[in-house]
Amino acid sequence: MNHEIHQERLLSDFLDLTTGSAESLDERRVAELLTEKLRDLGFSVTEDDAGQNLGGNAGNLYGVLKGTLAGPPLLLSAHMDTVKPGCHKKPFLHENGTITSDGTTVLGADDAAGLAEILEGIRSVREAGIPHRDIEILFPVAEEIFIQGSNVFDFSRIQAKEAYVLDMSGPVGSAAVRAPSMFSFRVTVKGRASHAGFAPENGINAIAVAAQAIAAIPQGHVDPETTCNIGTITGGSAKNIVPEQCICTGEVRGFSHEKVLHCIEEIRNAFANAVQPHGASFVMETQEILRSYCVPEDAPVVTRFQRVCASLGFAGELRSTLGGSDNHNFVKAGISGIVLSCGMQRVHSTDESITVQELVRGSALVAGLILDDA
């Protein structure tokens, strides 16, 4: 039996999912829409208390669709939230098949494309009556604010050992098998206030000390697989007061967890060296946001992806990404997952777009992954 992707139905789902508001922690409308569509497909669906825990209005959606074939379930995932500006979105379908926003907000293809492609891929298999294994879905909230939704999900509920996360830019047919560690940091430099005109010699300029440390820290590409960035610097209370305090924030990310840790330690040393001659002090706080992973190219989750791509005439390209995704939490929970491109372009901007053709290709890929039981 052949399964068929229904383009108009797929397009209708995508336009529904990209209409209205869905910024992080405001996913209520999308959650209700998806719950209805999943239950229509035969899923049992539950919503957890992630929204309550994180200060949002919706939780992570978890669903199970029972199949008729033996074997462990396959997990499919895409997140429900968008970046800002994502309120009152209005998608527009252009004559050439490209879909954009009205230019005042993001489109929200990140990650409504993944959501719509998962729905249509499953629907096409179900309508054709083709036997398949159990399917699990996880549609998290708050992915765009450092994967907070999946970070509080109870992964003991999931039975699948392999996952496909539809959440990457580029044409359908590529997948990320390697992703980085990421640490954020906040450094507070303490100096001493004094009047800048009458007695500057009695002060310790915290901004000047912080600047000396920052100048000693390599930024940008520290090496071919590690980046470092000082993102904000604030300090001082008035233009005629020697600043007593300066706060710097930034991040380090890279494919080697050990190299990221080493870079964090070099930042700490730079501030230590800067404050000592001036009699200043500092406090550095760090937080691990992501833990790097690399899925072997011969892993079943990868070989299935490449096999299905070959059958559909897609590239089946494997790549690395310096971005984070819910797959970081899947891998940490012991699930072998990779991140799939779902056709979106120029995400996190008001120029975001996708084509109807890419939505169809993504849906076909989902269906193929469900049906491949080799």
Annotated active-site positions, please? Answer: 81, 143
Rounded CA gap, 78 and 112, in Å? 8
Show the tokens assigned to 228. 């470092």
Residues in the chain, overall count? 374
What are the helix (H) ranges across 61-153? 109-128, 148-151
Query: What are the CA-CA distances from residue 135 to residues 37, 79, 131, 150, 351 (Å)?
Result: 15, 17, 12, 18, 34
Rounded CA gap, 208 and 231, in Å? 17
Query: In terms of C-beta distances under 8 Å and separation of at least 24 residues, what long-range contacts does 330-333 make, across chains too?
Result: 330/75, 330/77, 330/150, 330/155, 330/163, 330/165, 331/291, 331/293, 331/295, 332/291, 332/293, 333/155, 333/158
Helix (H) or strand (E) holding 7: helix 7-17
Beta bridge partners of 254: 181, 226
How, if at all, do strands 336-341 and 162-168 pair? parallel
Rounded CA gap, 117 and 362, in Å? 6
Show the tokens assigned to 206. 């915290």
Burial label, 168 (beta-carbon count in 10 A; 0-12, 13-18, 19+):
buried
Helix (H) or strand (E) holding 368: helix 356-371
Of 76, 71, 44, 75, give the one whose Cα is nearest residue 133: 71
